[in-house]
């Protein structure tokens, strides 16, 4: 299914954000890498990550039906897909080199790093991150959650509300799910303690509770209902809350409408001129899509050798011959460079294409993760229900 969209471009649209206000900056960092120091891809760990992402979307689709009483229009009918469990600015840290992006926030005065995820809507944390008994402003909602991920972990526990602070912005009575189980594990857990969702409420696990950015907006802690991700391979990655930093991109933003009732930051797009529906997801590493659609795209790219990776197919190529991958969205073309077109190497020295076809993908849509987000600065506008795109500076 293709969404009904409107393209808006030019200086007038960009100026509507009053770019003099950059909002509040959250510095971002990455987590551990699926790629070794010599650029070899850890297939096993990477497969677990993709299973985690697929499970996230299966949960979102279940939540959509629970919250709305109907199937999601992007639901992809695959056998048992939904039964498998599986203006401030924050500097972001690259946690899991091209996996998720972590920055600092606090609930009830307890501070921790958390992954900011535009592909989900709830804030969930490991048990050590948040202790309700240590906060006089904590309130137990007497509601629970249970989310199983495809990497074998499960987040389950109780939902609380407490005072939120992020990069100097404050809001009261914001929902947080404290898991009694460790769903972020290993070295990841040393750098990030949970997930903070930035998608719309219709896919939320927490019913009748606002996602954290919606709470900031409702309580007028931010100047406007926009946030901006600019993700870079090195340092300087940022999440801007409540404003737009025009220094992060070249030229003007081009906009495309989104339908908030569908829950995702989704829009019509093209990959090498083939029409797709795309979800922009800061919680995913690469670009992935339904197997049949990916196969149709890669058939037009010479020099690719397919290989199996769990429930999907990836592609290898000679690193000296970067394939041409162009993502078109909001009337703009974004070509992946050599760094973005590949995601690590095989042991034989061949590069791995940063696009994977997945047989068990629950959505009739593509997921645009890090490999795309490192070429574009993206503005998410909850006031006008649209996304803005421009090439990074």
Q: What is the pLDDT of residues 220-247, one digit of tens each?
A: 999 999 999 999 887 889 999 999 999 9
pLDDT of residue 375: 97
pLDDT tens-digit series, residues 313-341 = 999 999 999 999 999 999 999 999 999 99
Mean pLDDT over 129-156 rounds to: 93
Mean pLDDT over 104-126 rounds to: 96
Please count the structural domains in the chain. Answer: 1
Asked if the model's pLDDT at residue 14 lies above 60, the reply is no
- In a domain, residue 2? The reply is no
- In a domain, residue 1? The reply is no
Alpha-carbon distance of 35 to 96, in angstroms, equals 9
Helix (H) or strand (E) holding 70: none
Using pLDDT thresholds of 50, 70 and 90, give the confidence band for residue 88.
Answer: low
- In a domain, residue 125? The reply is yes
Alpha-carbon distance of 210 to 205, in angstroms, equals 11
Asked if the model's pLDDT at residue 5 lies above 80, the reply is no
Active-site choice (32, 94, 117, 268): 117
- In a domain, residue 211? The reply is yes
- In a domain, residue 200? The reply is yes
Alpha-carbon distance of 218 to 169, in angstroms, equals 13
And the tokens for 331?
Answer: 């009337």
Alpha-carbon distance of 268 to 264, in angstroms, equals 12
pLDDT of residue 235: 80
Residue 365 contacts residue 275 (beta carbons within 8 Å): no
Alpha-carbon distance of 232 to 92, in angstroms, equals 9
- In a domain, residue 129? The reply is yes
Residue 51: give the domain boundaries.
7-391
Using pLDDT thresholds of 50, 70 and 90, give the confidence band for residue 156.
Answer: very high
For residue 369, the domain's CATH number is 2.40.70.10
Residue 230 contacts residue 23 (beta carbons within 8 Å): no
281 is catalytic: yes
Query: What b/e readout covers 332-371, taking b as 16+ CB neighbours within 10 angstroms?
Result: bebebeeebbbbbbeeeebbbbbbbbbebbbbbbbbbbbb
State phi, psi for 344 to the nearest 5 degrees: 80, -175
pLDDT of residue 263: 98
pLDDT of residue 86: 33
pLDDT of residue 102: 80
And the tokens for 170?
Answer: 């404050």
Asked if the model's pLDDT at residue 48 lies above 60, the reply is yes
pLDDT of residue 20: 44
Q: 370: helix, coil or strand? A: helix
Alpha-carbon distance of 345 to 339, in angstroms, equals 12
Alpha-carbon distance of 282 to 384, in angstroms, equals 20
- In a domain, residue 89? The reply is yes
Which pTM was predicted? 0.88
CA 257 from chain center: how many Å? Answer: 18
Active-site choice (257, 281, 370, 381): 281
**CA nearest 151: which of 49, 60, 80?**
49
Using pLDDT thresholds of 50, 70 and 90, give the confidence band for residue 380.
Answer: very high
Question: Given CA atoms 71, 77, 82, 85 in this order, what sign does their dihedral have?
Answer: negative
Asked if the model's pLDDT at residue 201 lies above 80, the reply is yes
- In a domain, residue 371? The reply is yes
Percent of the chain with pLDDT over 90: 70
140 is catalytic: no
Mean pLDDT over 177-193 rounds to: 87
């Amino acid at each position: 299914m293709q969404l009904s969209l409107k393209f808006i471009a030019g200086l007038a649209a960009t100026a509507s954000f009053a770019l003099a206000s950059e909002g509040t900056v959250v510095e971002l960092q990455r987590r551990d890498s699926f790629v070794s120091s010599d650029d070899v891809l850890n297939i096993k760990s990477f497969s677990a990550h993709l299973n985690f992402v697929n499970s996230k979307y299966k949960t979102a689709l279940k939540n959509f039906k629970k919250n709305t009483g109907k199937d999601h229009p992007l639901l992809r009918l695959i056998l048992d897909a939904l039964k498998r469990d599986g203006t401030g600015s924050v500097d972001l840290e690259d946690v899991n080199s091209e996996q998720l992006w972590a920055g600092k926030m606090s609930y009830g005065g307890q501070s921790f790093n958390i992954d900011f995820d535009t592909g989900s809507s709830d804030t969930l944390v490991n048990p050590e991150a948040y202790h309700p008994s240590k906060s006089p402003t904590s309130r137990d909602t007497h509601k629970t959650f249970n989310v199983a991920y495809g990497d074998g972990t499960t987040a389950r526990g109780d939902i609380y509300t407490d005072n939120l602070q992020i990069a100097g912005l404050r809001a009261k009575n914001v929902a947080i799910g404290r898991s009694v189980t460790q769903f972020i594990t290993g070295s990841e857990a040393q750098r990030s303690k949970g997930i903070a969702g930035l998608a719309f409420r219709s896919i939320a696990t927490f019913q009748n509770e606002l996602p954290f950015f919606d709470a900031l907006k409702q309580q007028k802690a931010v100047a406007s209902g926009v946030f901006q991700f600019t993700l870079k391979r090195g340092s300087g990655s940022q999440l801007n809350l409540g404003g737009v930093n025009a220094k992060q991109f070249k030229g003007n933003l081009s906009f495309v409408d989104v339908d908030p009732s569908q829950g995702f930051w989704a829009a019509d797009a093209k990959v090498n001129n083939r029409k797709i529906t795309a979800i922009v997801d800061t919680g995913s590493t690469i670009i992935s899509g339904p197997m049949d659609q990916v196969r149709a795209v890669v058939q037009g790219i010479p020099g690719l050798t397919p290989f199996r990776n769990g429930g999907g197919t990836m592609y290898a190529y000679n690193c000296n011959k970067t394939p041409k991958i162009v993502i078109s969205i909001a009337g703009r073309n974004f070509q992946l460079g050599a760094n973005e077109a590949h995601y690590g190497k095989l042991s034989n020295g061949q590069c791995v294409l940063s696009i994977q076809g997945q047989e068990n993908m629950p959505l009739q849509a593509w997921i645009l993760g890090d490999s795309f987000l490192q070429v574009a600065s993206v503005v998410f506008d909850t006031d006008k229900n649209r996304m803005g795109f421009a090439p990074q500076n």
